[in-house]
């Protein structure tokens, strides 16, 4: 009898482990930084890349990453994800970028939105309700994480067509209608969140530390995130989670990955060094970081940051080469050399040449002349 009981217990244990191993977890990660009609945001693209890497390290079956989406691309990404989440146990959508609340409804803002009138919101943005609708097929956990409670840059310029339609500060409180659904805000409803001075926002920085801790229930993970953000922002920003789950423990790191996925920030020295390198933000600082920390989660993030610097630094050089090629065909007017004592030698020559071309052809961009003046101290 005792042997039969032991055999039965082992059978149930193996069944539970098999179910955990088979559990399908999927995620859609979006970061919008390069807004076309309002000032850019520094961190959302970085935040999205880091969260995507985090979820991949936790063994997610599918992590779709999208950056700087216009309205059509954003709608398509959300629509396509509905197919991915259809047979998933756990489905997660993470969004970083501008968000807003109009008439009690929350919207996520693509990079090409103009939002000249309040009635443009439905046409030019994607609603939070749409995201929740896409997650409905997931069986065990539906999770939306919004690092989108920043100040709304469209409020001052947006014309009101209906006096009864209020435009709120931050995002509006949400009550999910489906069970086993959580919506995590970077800041409590009606309040705004910081974009951050480092490589990531305060909210995402805390998520990177706690969200996929093996064996840690997702509700406790968000509790730790809340405590850390409050501490790091001197109680100015309080993340908040809306919705409810059942009584079972739900961890974003499954049993199949607990043995091989460490807590994301087990190395305190690496996390501190990473933040320092991010504040400096140069290729040399990332190279020094990678010399000291060549492996691990923060090393992977550092490589992504350095690669991003490479891609952005080549663009100005290419544009300058195109301008030089265009104007090298023109014969500049002769001009006596002048001395600019406050000017770097390379800028001095460029400034003199731009003046000469401007006087002879009248077509050299004024912005370039103004730039050279600033660089030369004029």
pLDDT score of 378: 45
Distance CA 175, CA 181 (A): 9
pLDDT score of 254: 62
pLDDT score of 311: 65
State which residues of the chain have pLDDT below 50. 4-21, 255-266, 323, 327-342, 344, 360-365, 367, 378
**Could you say which DSSP state residue 181 is in?**
E
pLDDT score of 258: 42
pLDDT score of 374: 52
φ/ψ of 150, rounded to 5, equals -70, 170
Select from 59, 71, 41 the least CA-distant residue to 204.
41
The sheet with strand 90-96 has its strands ordered as 62-67, 25-31, 90-96, 141-147, 181-185, 240-244
CATH number of 22-265: 3.40.50.1460
**Which is it for strands 181-185 and 90-96: parallel, antiparallel or unpaired?**
unpaired
Q: Give the pLDDT confidence of 318-376 residue by residue, as tens digits.
A: 555 554 555 444 444 334 334 444 454 555 555 555 555 555 444 444 545 555 555 55
Q: Do 154 and 111 meet the contact criterion of CB atoms below 8 Å apart?
A: no
Select from 49, 3, 46, 55 the least CA-distant residue to 25.
55
Distance CA 366, CA 369 (A): 5
Distance CA 336, CA 297 (A): 57
Encode 309-361 in three state secondary structure.
HHHHHHHHHHHHHHHHHHHCCCCCCCCCCCCCCCCCHHHHHHHHHHHHHHHHH
pLDDT score of 151: 74
pLDDT score of 302: 75
Q: Give the pLDDT confidence of 287-317 residue by residue, as tens digits.
A: 877 877 777 777 777 787 778 777 655 555 5
Measure the CA angle with vertex 34, ends 202 and 63; round to 5°: 65
φ/ψ of 141, rounded to 5, equals -150, 130
pLDDT score of 250: 92
Q: How many CA atoms lie within 13 A of 7 on its CB side?
A: 4
Distance CA 288, CA 141 (A): 40
pLDDT score of 224: 96
**Prediction pTM value:** 0.70
* Per-domain residue ranges of the chain: 22-265, 267-327, 330-375
Q: Do 89 and 141 meet the contact criterion of CB atoms below 8 Å apart?
A: yes
Tracing tokens 């939306």 back to the chain, one arrives at 144
pLDDT score of 362: 47
Secondary structure (3-state) at 373:
helix
């Amino acid at each position: 009898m005792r042997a039969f009981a032991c055999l039965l217990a082992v059978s149930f244990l193996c069944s539970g482990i098999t179910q955990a191993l088979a559990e399908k977890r999927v995620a859609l990660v979006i970061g919008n930084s390069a807004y076309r009609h309002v000032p850019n945001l520094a961190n959302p693209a970085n935040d999205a890349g880091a969260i995507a890497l985090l979820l991949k390290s936790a063994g997610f079956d599918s992590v779709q990453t999208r950056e700087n989406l216009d309205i059509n691309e954003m709608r398509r990404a959300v629509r396509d994800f509905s197919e991915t989440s259809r047979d998933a146990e756990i489905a997660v959508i993470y969004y970083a970028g501008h968000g807003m609340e109009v008439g009690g409804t929350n919207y996520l803002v693509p990079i090409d939105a103009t939002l000249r009138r309040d009635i443009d919101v439905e046409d030019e943005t994607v609603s939070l309700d749409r995201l929740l609708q896409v997650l409905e097929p997931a069986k065990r956990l539906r999770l939306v994480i919004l690092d989108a409670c920043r100040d709304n840059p469209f409020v001052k310029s947006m014309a009101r067509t209906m006096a009864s339609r209020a435009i709120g500060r931050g995002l509006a409180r949400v009550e999910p209608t489906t069970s086993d659904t959580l919506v995590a805000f970077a800041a409590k409803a009606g309040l705004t969140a910081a974009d951050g001075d480092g490589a990531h926002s305060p909210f995402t920085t805390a998520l990177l530390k706690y969200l996929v801790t093996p064996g840690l229930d997702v509700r406790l993970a968000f509790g730790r995130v809340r405590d850390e953000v409050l501490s790091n922002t001197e109680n100015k920003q309080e993340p908040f989670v809306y919705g409810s789950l059942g009584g079972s423990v739900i961890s974003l790191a499954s049993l199949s990955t607990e043995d091989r996925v460490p807590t994301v920030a087990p190395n305190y020295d690496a996390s501190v060094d990473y933040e320092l390198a991010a504040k400096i933000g140069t290729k040399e600082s990332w190279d020094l970081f990678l010399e000291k920390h060549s492996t691990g989660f923060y090393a992977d993030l550092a490589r992504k940051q350095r690669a991003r610097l490479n891609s952005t630094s080549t663009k100005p050089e290419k544009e300058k080469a195109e301008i030089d090629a265009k104007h090298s065909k023109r014969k500049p007017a002769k001009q006596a050399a002048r001395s600019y004592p406050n000017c770097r030698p390379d800028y001095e020559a460029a400034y003199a040449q731009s003046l000469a071309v401007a006087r002879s052809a009248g077509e050299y961009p004024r912005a370039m002349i103004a730039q050279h003046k600033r660089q030369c101290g004029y």
